[in-house]
Amino acid sequence: MLTAWDPDRLVAEVQRLALRALPRDEYHRELGLRLRRTIPFDAACWHGLDPQTLLLTTANPEELIDRGFLSQDTEPHAARVVVASEYERDDYNTFAALAKRRAPVGILSEATRGRPERSARYREWLAADGIPFEMRAALVTRGRAWGCVVFHRSEATRDFERTDARLIARLSRPIAEGVRASLRADAARRSHEESAPGMILLGNGDEVEFVTPPAQRLLAPLRDDSPASSRTIPPPVRALAAIARRDGRDAPDHVPAMHVPTSAGWLSLHASLPHGAQSERVAIVIQRTPGEHAAPLRLEAYGLTSREREIATLVAEGLTTEALAERLFLSHWTVQDHLKSIFEKTGTRSRRELRAQIFYQEFLPGIATRAPLDADGALVPGAARGHN
């Protein structure tokens, strides 16, 4: 049996792990091994969040399935219940609500004052599948939520306590920074195999009524490697559809676009309800995130503040330190301090390296293959010129 860690040792180990920038699923597994040295739980389910909209971007129910609380057949039902509790009805400890708390952690039994049956999530899923005790946390750093996690316990393990919640609250920031680091390298890549947008039309129960060929290819990076994933709607599609049904009829312009980091680069999703239809059908357009939108997302993934992102963008436009100071009403020395911080966070040493790493990275594959330019002067993906 492994020796238990005291809380301070656990926090230090999680902070070190966050610096390794592991792939997402490996990071979750390593986190689970460390957390269990201090806090017992039967299964954890990790999710990604879009920091702009607080919509779910990923789900990792691997432990719930491996430990027998879910099966390939019951996982889609659990996913629908979770999304409904987040976006379609009132429920306790939603991730969006937790992300706004000073201590972004909630225990279900405490939130319901000892009556968890008040929660639709408890009635429709948790109690039936033998995991009645739940603790949720939003993973927040610098005011931005990059993910969330649900810890589950069975009757045999007993309920969570406030000491558990206080420790997870301490870990929210370092875990969030690890999540942000884990997506940075993968999401910085940009595939040039498909540039056309695609569309998927979901029926009233989120069944797929039709999907265009480009959408089929773009949906693949949104799925994980589990067998169940190939048969279910990816989490960001389901979450965005729920928001569109909730808000799209009365305020169609307020349905947010999602920008989701994937191993094939950033993808953007836009949802709308068909005009004149009274059903709950939702059309979702999926496309690769345009470069002018992807660059700020990359900068935020490196942990740059809003002012640092503004300065980095102006650096890409070629502004000198003096011009930056004049444009932003800052002193020359303040601009230099911001630039030093930007270089440290992005691992670059000069303006040229910063532009290459953040702003030009998506174009490098096309440049390397000598891709031609289109009528607007943009590189044509997938088309290489012959060498002279």
The string of pLDDT tens digits covering residues 254-270 is 788 889 988 778 899 99
Distance of CA 62 to the CA centre of its chain: 17
pLDDT interval class at 231 (50, 70, 90): low
Residues 6+ away with beta carbon under 8 Å from 122: 108, 112, 116, 132, 134
Measured CA to CA, the distance from residue 125 to residue 102 in angstroms comes to 28
Q: Return phi, psi of residue 211, to 5°.
A: -145, 135
**How many C-beta atoms surround the C-beta of residue 29 within 10 A?**
16
Query: Residue 157: what pLDDT?
Result: 95
Nearest to 358 by CA among 185, 146, 180, 177: 185
Q: What type of residue sits at position 62?
A: E
pLDDT interval class at 376 (50, 70, 90): very low
Q: In this model, does residue 105 exceed pLDDT 80? A: yes
Q: By the 8 A CB rule, do 93 and 112 touch?
A: no
Q: In this model, does residue 19 exceed pLDDT 80? A: yes
Sheet of 282-288, strands arranged across: 208-211, 198-202, 282-288, 265-272, 258-262
* Domains, the chain, with CATH or none: 7-188 (3.30.450.40), 198-292 (3.30.450), 304-368 (1.10.10.10)
Angle 380-385-387 (CA atoms, 0-180°, nearest 5)? 155
Nearest to 13 by CA among 38, 50, 48: 38
Residues 6+ away with beta carbon under 8 Å from 253: none
pTM over 0.85? The answer is: no
The string of pLDDT tens digits covering residues 167-209 is 999 999 999 999 998 887 656 555 445 568 999 999 988 899 9
Measured CA to CA, the distance from residue 246 to residue 272 in angstroms comes to 11
Instruction: Retrieve residue 19's tokens.
Output: 């610096």
Q: How far is CA 159 from CA 61, 107, 111, 151, in A?
A: 20, 9, 13, 11
